[in-house]
């Protein structure tokens, strides 16, 4: 086999910044380097629409039972939807988001908006699969999510695959050590409660940036402990458990409420509100400014309910609300949050049974792609220049 062909094989084994297992050239008495396919075409690479289903063709491992592959940032699925108040189906969200990510891969990650790629900043990226959650017992499922998150959060980091990698979480973890970060694919929004419980053990209370059409801070009510925990009350429970700082903030709120008392309770829980219409009245630059000012230099967890996007652009969700932000506006805001002290992120409430042409799964996957860059860079990217000058900027 020629040297150039071997080089091509080696290059094909680099996925998301990881060097995979060496190319297997023999099996018993078979030397695959001399077989017709390999001699003519090289490695059996995955196309955008082929191969095992991992997020953006990341390396894949069942991390809860296999600790052999360290990582700096993990993708983790929480297929859970049994605390929804309207349309269920978000247990299929992790599958839909991964499916929507298939055209993204390590050779196709650069974008003009970021002037960068998730794979350009040195983090070892790994898809850790889905947590096998009980579909029958909410208390058990919530405990399973916390145990899974605890497990991965306490793993040693890879420490970067290139010199571009920068240590981040050691500066604000309670033990002074670097901890991996996790981007979770939901699942209904209740998954944030076990995540905040887990993060609290490493960072103490965190600030939350919450993108959603709904407050999710409604008082926890019910005749049983588990009835109190829903995808509309989990922040109230988290506040009661002192898991959040009084420096959290919503973006995109537009839901119907009982009356203004809901807003008063929301403030008591620790949130400020940026409504959907605030984007029109104050502009996207001021929205980003207020989000950044609110959380400051505290450890920040970002959670995004796909229903923050208008249902015309992301219909596959359980509690759709008309009049939402566009996908482009959400992505622009995310870019503006780069450089904050992110300890983790999630995207939730993708319920693909209500989708059309996979547009919600594709949008959610692209937002995850944005999260992966946002978490690794020190400041928001500069505006694309093209034929423009600085004097042409409208803000």
Indicate the pLDDT class of residue 11, thresholds 50, 70 and 90: very low
Query: What is the rounded CA–CA span in Å between residue 299 and residue 340?
Result: 8
Residue 274 is assigned to a structural domain of this protein: yes
Query: What is the rounded CA–CA span in Å between residue 168 and residue 60?
Result: 24
Check: CB of residue 291 under 8 Å from CB of residue 209: yes
Question: Is 179 found in the same domain as 113?
Answer: yes
DSSP letters spanning 167-218: --GGGTSTTS----EEEEEESSGGGHHHHHHHHHHHHSSBEEEEE-SS---P
pLDDT greater than 80 at residue 283 = yes
Indicate the pLDDT class of residue 45, thresholds 50, 70 and 90: confident
Q: Write out the residue range of the structural domain in which residue 285 sits.
A: 55-374
Burial class (CB in 10 A: 0-12, 13-18, 19+), 65: exposed
Residue 383 is assigned to a structural domain of this protein: no
Residue 388 is assigned to a structural domain of this protein: no
Average pLDDT along the chain = 91
pLDDT greater than 50 at residue 30 = yes
Query: What is the rounded CA–CA span in Å between residue 340 and residue 319?
Result: 29
Question: Is 32 found in the same domain as 61?
Answer: no
Distances (CA, A) of 335 to 36, 125, 332, 379: 47, 20, 5, 9
DSSP letters spanning 64-98: TT--SS-BSEEEEEE---TT-SS---GGGHHHHHH
pLDDT greater than 50 at residue 269 = yes
Residue 318 is assigned to a structural domain of this protein: yes
Would you say 307 is a known binding-site residue? yes
Would you say 231 is a known binding-site residue? no
**Sign of the four-CA dihedral 261, 265, 266, 271:** positive
pLDDT greater than 90 at residue 307 = yes
Check: CB of residue 196 under 8 Å from CB of residue 343: no
pLDDT greater than 80 at residue 253 = yes
pLDDT greater than 60 at residue 5 = no
Indicate the pLDDT class of residue 27, thresholds 50, 70 and 90: low
Mean pLDDT of 343-357: 97
Query: What is the rounded CA–CA span in Å between residue 165 and residue 199?
Result: 22
Running DSSP on this structure, what letter comes out for residue 375?
T
Query: What is the rounded CA–CA span in Å between residue 368 and residue 347?
Result: 7
Would you say 266 is a known binding-site residue? no
The pLDDT value given to residue 373: 97
pLDDT greater than 70 at residue 1 = no
Bridge pairing between strands 14-15 and 18-19: antiparallel
Check: CB of residue 55 under 8 Å from CB of residue 102: no
What's the structural domain count of the chain?
2
Residue 100 is assigned to a structural domain of this protein: yes
Question: Is 28 found in the same domain as 120?
Answer: no
Question: Is 293 found in the same domain as 256?
Answer: yes
Provide the token pair at 384.
Answer: 């694309």
pLDDT greater than 60 at residue 23 = no
Question: Is 131 found in the same domain as 26?
Answer: no
Question: Is 136 found in the same domain as 33?
Answer: no
Buried b (16+ CB within 10 A) or exposed e, 111-144: bebbebbbbbbbbbbbbbbbbebeeeebeebbeb
Question: Is 103 found in the same domain as 35?
Answer: no
Would you say 175 is a known binding-site residue? no
Residue 384 is assigned to a structural domain of this protein: no
pTM over 0.75: yes
Indicate the pLDDT class of residue 24, thresholds 50, 70 and 90: low
Would you say 18 is a known binding-site residue? no
pLDDT greater than 90 at residue 3 = no
Residue 309 is assigned to a structural domain of this protein: yes
Residue 155 is assigned to a structural domain of this protein: yes
Mean pLDDT of 311-315: 97
CATH code of the domain containing 266: 3.40.800.10
Mean pLDDT of 352-366: 97
Would you say 130 is a known binding-site residue? no
Question: Is 100 found in the same domain as 17?
Answer: no
Question: Is 211 found in the same domain as 126?
Answer: yes
Tell me which of 101-105, 117-121, 219-223 is least confident: 219-223
pLDDT tens column, 133-169: 999 999 999 999 999 999 999 999 999 999 999 999 9
Question: Is 363 found in the same domain as 230?
Answer: yes
Question: Is 155 found in the same domain as 70?
Answer: yes
Query: What is the rounded CA–CA span in Å between residue 43 and residue 184?
Result: 31
Indicate the pLDDT class of residue 225, thresholds 50, 70 and 90: confident
The pLDDT value given to residue 26: 54
Question: Is 235 found in the same domain as 176?
Answer: yes
């Amino acid at each position: 086999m020629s040297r150039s062909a071997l080089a091509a094989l080696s290059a094909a084994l680099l996925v998301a910044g990881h060097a995979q297992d060496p190319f297997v050239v023999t099996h018993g008495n078979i030397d695959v380097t001399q077989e017709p396919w390999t001699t003519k075409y090289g490695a059996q690479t995955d196309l955008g629409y082929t191969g095992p289903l991992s997020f953006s063709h990341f390396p894949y491992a069942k991390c809860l039972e296999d600790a052999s592959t360290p990582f700096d940032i993990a993708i983790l699925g929480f297929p859970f939807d049994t605390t929804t108040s309207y349309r269920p189906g978000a247990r299929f969200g992790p599958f839909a988001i991964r499916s929507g990510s298939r055209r993204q891969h390590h050779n196709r990650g650069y974008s003009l908006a970021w002037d960068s790629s998730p794979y350009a900043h040195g983090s070892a990226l790994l898809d850790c699969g889905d947590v096998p959650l009980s579909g029958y017992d909410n208390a058990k499922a919530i405990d399973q999510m916390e145990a899974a998150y605890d497990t991965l959060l306490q793993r040693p980091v890879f420490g970067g695959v290139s010199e571009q990698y920068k240590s981040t979480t050691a500066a604000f973890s309670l033990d002074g050590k670097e901890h991996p970060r996790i981007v979770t694919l939901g699942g209904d929004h209740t998954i944030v409660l076990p995540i905040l419980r887990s993060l609290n053990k490493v960072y103490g209370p965190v600030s939350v940036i919450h993108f959603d059409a709904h407050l999710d801070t409604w008082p926890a009510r019910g005749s049983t402990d588990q009835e109190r925990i829903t995808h509309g009350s989990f922040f109230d429970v988290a506040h009661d458990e002192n898991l959040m700082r009084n420096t959290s903030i919503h973006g995109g709120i537009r839901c119907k409420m009982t009356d203004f008392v809901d807003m008063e309770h929301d403030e008591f829980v620790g949130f400020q509100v940026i409504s959907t219409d605030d984007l029109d009245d104050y502009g996207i630059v001021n929205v980003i400014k207020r989000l950044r000012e609110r959380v400051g230099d505290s450890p920040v967890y970002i959670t995004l309910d796909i229903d923050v996007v208008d249902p015309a652009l992301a219909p596959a969700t359980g509690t759709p609300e008309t009049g939402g932000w566009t996908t482009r506006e959400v992505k622009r805001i995310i870019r503006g949050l780069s450089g904050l002290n992110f300890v983790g992120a999630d995207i939730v409430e993708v319920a693909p049974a209500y989708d059309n042409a996979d547009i919600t799964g594709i949008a959610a996957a692209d937002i995850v792609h944005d999260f992966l860059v946002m978490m690794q860079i020190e400041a928001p990217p500069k505006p694309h220049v093209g034929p423009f000058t600085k004097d042409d900027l409208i803000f």
